[in-house]
Amino acid sequence: MRKVWKKLRKALNPYSVRGTMILSFMLLISIIVLLVSLVSYYYTMNDIESISINYTVRLLGEINASIDSYIDNMKSMAKVVVENKDVRDVMAFYNRHHDKRLSYIEEKELERLRANAAAHMNIVANTRSDITNIAVISKYKDVVLSDVEKEVNENSEFNVTDWYLKPMSYKDEIVVSPSHVQNLVSGEYKWVISISKSVLDPETGEVTGVMVIDLNYRSIEAICENAQLGKNGYIYLIDRHKNIIYHPQQQLLYSGIKSELVEEILKMRDTYLRDDVNNRIYTRNYSELTGWSAVGVVNVDELIKDKSSIIDFYFRLAGISILFAMTFAVLISTTITNPIKMLENTMHEVEVGNFDVRSEIELNNEIGHLSKTFNVMISRIKDLMEKTVRDEEEKRRSEIRALQAQINPHFLYNTLDTIIWMSAGGKNDEVVEVTSALARLFRTSISKGENLVTLLNEVENIKSYLTIQKMRYEDKLSWRVDVPPELLGLMTPKLILQPIVENAVYHGIKMSQAGGEIAISARTAGDRLTITIADSGVGMTAEQLEQLFVPRPDTDRGIGVINVNNRIRLCFGEEYGLHYFSAPGEGTRVEIWLPVIEGGDEDDV
């Protein structure tokens, strides 16, 4: 027993990460309460949802009963109209005298019958505000309107509608049409529901025409809107033929902006259908009298909102459990994460380059041991980095000095040759001028030992060089320098122009029979200085351009160009250096990309 207790105390040691994690997991027991609350909530929600669905079904039944009563009244009115003697007589008159020329007496008789029939229909129409029009139409398309001041729309195609065709075939049936736009009356295009019935000849019983009553949505709309199904819930009516009889957003449906589940509703066997895509519940109640189905649409979120008072207890219990869980979690996690956070902050300092920082965590656990190991590691890294920086700096300086040294002997040999043949030719003045230019050139190249000089220094240097070359090649070579005075104070690496210009002379101008010109210019764009050396020599092929920066010790070009490019990149980085543009017979343009460095930054690089 003592051994077990000892092991338990060791496992629950609050000074170890392991013990802290065990205590944290023990707090998860509080989640059990939350799970029980959620399960209870789930079953309660299902029960309340079933209650709400049953309530909606009963409500739809009451709506159907009200609509049945309303339609039954309208059918009674339809019978009153079609059984009126004047209505029957006027339809019989039209059938007996179809395609016959009327006498004066017959015209007067027809006028009297139309007036009597219209007066009767107008009385019926005025009994209800939801009747927009009553009309009788003979089977030969003769129309009598209830309102004598209105005219028949000559372009109306009522003869192809169900409300006209069905009564013509089924004389004992009262037809109730789906909602549609009625255009029987000229200038009127109203959304209506039409109730129609055949008109029979009182003597022969033959169908002589059709009576139609057009109803607006006021009564049906009032019945459906009085039923509250939440803020966004609504009710619509469909018949067994998938026609929507009434919908609160009828125009959106017919314009295609909105759609409804019709086939799914008619096929449903249960009392409700859940639409998980739109988060809705559909319920349906069918009327035997009208053949219509009243469909209720309820938003599930609103349903849950209405149930909130019933499940308030479960949310309170869950809230209290979460509150306790959060309190314990904060306390425990703070104890665990504070030392780790301190160590993390120290690591961030090292990440940005501060190797003098040290972790000050002094704990007798794994984090404390990690902190001590981290401090030792940082000290060693700092020593290694300082040694690496010193070695790399010395290596870089040595490389720059070696690259720069490779340039000077190459030009000296060529210039001495020039002085020799000029002296042999007795050109003493020219010898003096060339010797002076050479002296200025080497004085600039070796003075002070700086690696950065002003652009003015480089321009004067290249002018001395081109003066020497002009003496050698005479009329075959011309040159010009176009550098804005405000740029002459900027700093450049020493001796970067002379190797490029030398290449232009020996591999561009010299190789051209007609000679050529070398133009030197400079410009700045943002934080970049671009120096351009362009010659009108023989140019280079694409293959020569590709091989330009490939070291080739057996050629002159392999020395100057590569060394200048390497020196620039060693000083400033890979985004700077030389860029060549050339084509055979079109000369060569070299752009030297450098950072803009003001004249005050002349320190050794």
Place of tokens 């004992």: 172
DSSP string, 417-457: HHHHHHHHTT-HHHHHHHHHHHHHHHHHHHSTT-SEEEHHH
Place of tokens 């209505």: 87
Higher pLDDT, 375 or 586: 586
* Predicted confidence (pLDDT) at residue 455 exceeds the cutoff of 70: yes
Class for the domain spanning 406-595: alpha beta
Residue 224 pLDDT level (bands cut at 50, 70, 90): confident
Which pLDDT belongs to residue 48? 66
Which pLDDT belongs to residue 356? 77
Q: Hey, where are the domains in the chain?
A: 83-220, 406-595
Where helices occur in 12-29 by DSSP H, the ranges are 17-26
Distance CA 5, CA 584 (A): 92
For residue 496, what are the contacts with CB-CB under 8 A and spacing of at least 6? 458, 531, 564, 567, 568, 592
Token pair of 83 as six digits? 């059984």
Residue 495 pLDDT level (bands cut at 50, 70, 90): confident
pLDDT (mean) for 595-604: 68
Residue 550 pLDDT level (bands cut at 50, 70, 90): confident
* Predicted confidence (pLDDT) at residue 605 exceeds the cutoff of 50: no
Which pLDDT belongs to residue 332? 66
* Predicted confidence (pLDDT) at residue 117 exceeds the cutoff of 60: yes
169-175 long-range contacts, CB within 8 A, separation 24+: 170/198, 171/198, 171/200, 171/207, 172/198, 173/197, 174/75, 174/78, 174/79
The sign of the CA dihedral 294, 295, 298, 300 is positive
* Predicted confidence (pLDDT) at residue 226 exceeds the cutoff of 50: yes
Higher pLDDT, 409 or 129: 129
pLDDT (mean) for 55-67: 80
* Neighbour tally for 356: CB within 10 Å: 10
Dihedral, 80, 86, 87, 89 alpha carbons, nearest 10:
130
Higher pLDDT, 310 or 214: 214
Token pair of 54 as six digits? 């049953």
The distance from CA 388 to its chain's CA centroid, rounded to whole angstroms, is 48
Beta carbons of 94 and 141 less than 8 angstroms apart:
no
> What's the first-to-final CA gap in the chain, in angstroms?
75
* Predicted confidence (pLDDT) at residue 502 exceeds the cutoff of 90: no
pLDDT (mean) for 89-97: 89
Which pLDDT belongs to residue 521? 96
Which pLDDT belongs to residue 575? 93
Higher pLDDT, 587 or 51: 587
Tell me how many degrees the CA angle 275-276-281 measures, rounded to the nearest 5: 40
Highest mean pLDDT among 47-51, 112-116, 321-325, 384-388: 112-116
Partner residues linked to 522 by β-bridges: 531
Which pLDDT belongs to residue 337? 63
Lowest mean pLDDT segment, chosen from 61-65, 112-116, 498-502: 61-65
pLDDT (mean) for 196-215: 89
CATH code of the domain made up of 83-220: 3.30.450.20
Highest mean pLDDT among 304-313, 406-415, 572-581: 572-581
Which pLDDT belongs to residue 395? 59
In whole angstroms, how large is the CA radius of gyration of the chain?
A: 52
Beta carbons of 605 and 452 less than 8 angstroms apart:
yes
332-335 long-range contacts, CB within 8 A, separation 24+: 332/20, 332/23, 332/24, 332/27, 333/24, 335/20
Which pLDDT belongs to residue 591? 95
Which pLDDT belongs to residue 55? 74
pTM listed for this prediction? 0.44
Lowest mean pLDDT segment, chosen from 123-132, 146-155, 251-260, 509-518: 251-260
Beta carbons of 362 and 61 less than 8 angstroms apart:
no
Which pLDDT belongs to residue 2? 66
HEC per residue, 508-544: HHCCCCCCEEEEEEEEEECCEEEEEEEECCCCCCHHH
* Predicted confidence (pLDDT) at residue 16 exceeds the cutoff of 70: no
Per residue in 284-303, pLDDT tens? 888 877 778 888 888 777 66
CA distances, 344 to each of 375, 379, 494, 510 (Å): 13, 17, 46, 66
Which pLDDT belongs to residue 602? 42
Beta carbons of 57 and 285 less than 8 angstroms apart:
yes
* Predicted confidence (pLDDT) at residue 452 exceeds the cutoff of 90: no
Residue 406 pLDDT level (bands cut at 50, 70, 90): very low
Highest mean pLDDT among 31-35, 160-164, 348-352: 160-164
Average pLDDT score over the chain: 79
Exposed e or buried b per residue across 270-300, where buried means at least 16 C-beta atoms within 10 angstroms of its C-beta: eebbeeeeeebbbbbbebeebebbbbbbbbb
Which pLDDT belongs to residue 307? 57
Which pLDDT belongs to residue 425? 75
* Predicted confidence (pLDDT) at residue 87 exceeds the cutoff of 80: yes
DSSP string, 30-91: HHHHHHHHHHHHHHHHHHHHHHHHHHHHHHHHHHHHHHHHHHHHHHHHHHHHHT-HHHHHHH
Beta carbons of 227 and 235 less than 8 angstroms apart:
yes
Which pLDDT belongs to residue 601? 44
CA distances, 350 to each of 60, 355, 372, 385 (Å): 72, 5, 15, 12
Which pLDDT belongs to residue 604? 41
Reported residue count of the chain is: 605
